[in-house]
Structure 1
Amino acid sequence: MEIASGQGSDARDQVNSNEKAIAALGRSRGVLSAALNSFSSGSFILSVADAATSVIHAQNIVISILVIVALLGTVAFPLFVVQVFRVVLRRIMLEARIYEKVPLRRFLYPLQSKRWVRMAWTMMVENAYLMLWWLTFVGGIIKTYSYFLVPYIVAENPNISANQAISLSRRIMKGHKWECFVAQVSFLVWYLLNGATVGLSGIFYSNGYNAAFFAEYYAYLRAVAKENGIEGAGS
């Protein structure tokens, strides 16, 4: 932030101070340590800023570019990594219902299916709709459960459009929203235990149990929807 405010010398002093503190901790040898120290101390960011300034010869423009890149990165990571990973986990759990073993390469499912961007777009649209519905509060609660199956639907059919996935989830969840809420509440003790153990109980047990349960729940809802003739549920 000091670089952005034009206090370049203060920023350099802070970086030097950080580097000395890191060196005092003994983490100063090796290529990996050097790279890690560069990020930790802030010298990497400062070096990028200096390099860009030497090319563009306008510090304000460089700062603006860095701020824009940082903002894009802040948006891109949740969208292309976190949200898509939600889909990947559901794909893995759905396959685990059928196959005895699921290969590790399934974590690369978005790349294998060549639908990474499409998945990210669908999840972005879902989150945008939810954000707008949450402005009404009650609508946000209802639509959270209406759209509950979107990542499962995308996991099974990565070619589906965003609006089709949302619409299908809404139709399948009709009459099941309260049921889904009760199912989530049944895990409340596990959620509390997970928090009390700093995530350890979740890592070693409850997260997997929770994911497996809702994968089965999706399969059940999908079967019911297929029996009821809901369009798209059988594809």
Structure 2
Amino acid sequence: MTARQRNNVRIIGEGTRPMIFAHGYGCDQSMWRFMVEAFAHDHRIILFDHVGAGGSDLSAYDPERHGGLQGYADDVLEICRELDLRDVVFVGHSVSAMIGVLASIREPERFAKLVLIGPSPCYVNHDGYRGGFSREDLEGLVEVLDSNQLGWAGTMAPVIMGNPDRPELAEELRNSFCRTDPEIARRFARVTFFSDNRHDLPRVTTPVLILQCAEDAIAPEAVGAYVHDNIPGSRLVRLAATGHCPHMSAPDETIRAMRAFL
């Protein structure tokens, strides 16, 4: 099986510089449609689904490989090698921000820039570090997901999207959560919420843009500031957009910030 088949890779656009979009937990490549429209005329856009999401090949899921974020980073690198991609602009949302960080550390020569949307290196509060959640809170969230994926999706989608005046956005996110393979979703949730990549941040040598939303219940402003403080030379932009998915709720503002960086 090729990486293109495994991850349902699509390539579009009229440009030559590659731009990879990597979706967050419970999402798929369709969430990038507004970004694609803005960048396809001058970039070669690479879209894909993490194994378990969208049109990916579920049989490619490997509990050992995908039991940590490095396995997902290796999937990204295999896509890059198969397509012979270099000078890549990697755009990662939420958990995929750290997946991009890991990929860039392993093969820095492939990446020109990283755009990290709502990144969090660690969701769990530790002494002196505020990730936004206690371990007990996250254990409770994952237990609900284990027992009732549909109920979890209905409860969490509005919290994550954070735009109560636009319920259609939360509904799209809820539907995406429900489409994700349930068993893989449960395992990926634990990988997402209990990984700790704080020690990896200083190892990043690729230029980085951090896009931090206001009122983000998943990756609060203190986390964005921490990522900025610990990635040498990174640029932090605080968006007026609220919630955790500005590429969906505020695409114009997100695109402007990305263009200024690129």
Q: Same fold (TM over 0.5)?
A: no
More strand by share: 2
TM bucket, shorter chain:
under 0.3
The TM-score with structure 2 as length reference comes to 0.23
With CA pairs under 8 Å and 6+ residues apart, which has the higher RCO, 1 or 2? 2
More helix by share: 1
Structure whose alpha-carbon radius of gyration is higher: 1
